[in-house]
Amino acid sequence: MFIFTTKKAKAGYLILALFPFLLGANMIDSGKIPIFNAFTGKTELVEKVHKSAAEWKKILTPEQFKIMRLKETEAPFAKLCPMPPKGKNGIYECAGCGTDLFRYEEKFESGTGWPSFWQPVSELNIKLTTDSSHGLHRTEVSCARCGAHLGHVFDDGPPPTGKRYCINTLALKLVPMPADPQKAAFGAGCFWGVESAFAQVKGVEKTTAGYMGGALKNPTYEDVCTDKTGHAEVVLVEYNPQAVSYEDLLDVFWSIHDPTTPNRQGPDIGSQYRSVIFYFTPEQEKIARALKEKLSKSKKFKKPIVTEILPAKEFYPAEEYHQKYFQRRGITPTCHIPKNLSR
């Protein structure tokens, strides 16, 4: 009888039960099994991993081979379990095949000398079998994909599961979770070209054309074009700070427009086309002001820089036909970004 401790566990068992019926006998014949991907949150059908002892010895260290393939156990307190940087999370994967096994946030200090977790990322990713070796009655935990011995599970863990998955350190490989996307917002003229420029930047995950900075709620394009709402045409940029810095985004911003023309970019005239940076954090404000001052002192522009630096206000996405305007119409982007930042 299964005991479901979380909604994810219930979903995992349900998927495991239904997969053969949904996908047919080919799943079994092909050697594929359902495995939960902790990074995408999706269950995927993957090939089981089969290797000879000689092949495993080429991948694993001698110690890992003894533990993961010969089912030996490392001495308690002998190894230091890797941890992600402070304030960050990560996933412990199988050191043999890379299957996601446990979350760092579900790790606890058991005092036993081995890494302990109160639940796996999914019941799909592990296999539990009775282990009567050494005159003991235990439940072995192994990797569902490659069969590697990981450790044992006991019924003396903390809530909410009451389980303690006692795992060998050498059987685990820590992979940091990607940083949460951060937001930035820039106004540099017509948002069609601005959006197409930032969409080309490595590390930018999403761009949305829209309106910010005015008083009118839920403005339309027609409203903003009256030049009476106070809104600017902007692009909301969601980016991975581990792949691209805020300073890099500002370099793109300065390079794709003329920051010396108030309320105008080329033929587009009106306050909605003003040069503006909307910051979401004090750190963004500090960086933006410092780089603006540095750029002013560089004398790159003959006229004074008039770019506004303001706290972010409510963002209103523009109408759907404005999104990815150039891309949808096969128009070559008109704004050129620094080559070192291009995808």
Strand ordering across the sheet containing 90-94: 100-103, 90-94, 172-176
Rounded to an integer, what distance in angstroms lies between the CA atom of residue 138 and that of residue 164? 12
Q: How far is CA 218 from CA 109, 131, 174, 316, 317, in A?
A: 50, 63, 45, 6, 9
Task: Spell out the residues 6+ positions from residue 305 whose beta carbon is closer than 8 angstroms to its own.
Answer: 259, 260, 275, 292, 295, 296
Tokens of 204: 């930018």
Q: Which residues belong to the active site?
A: 166, 190
Q: What is the DSSP string of 102-130?
A: EEGGGEE--SSSS-EESS-S-GGGEEEEE
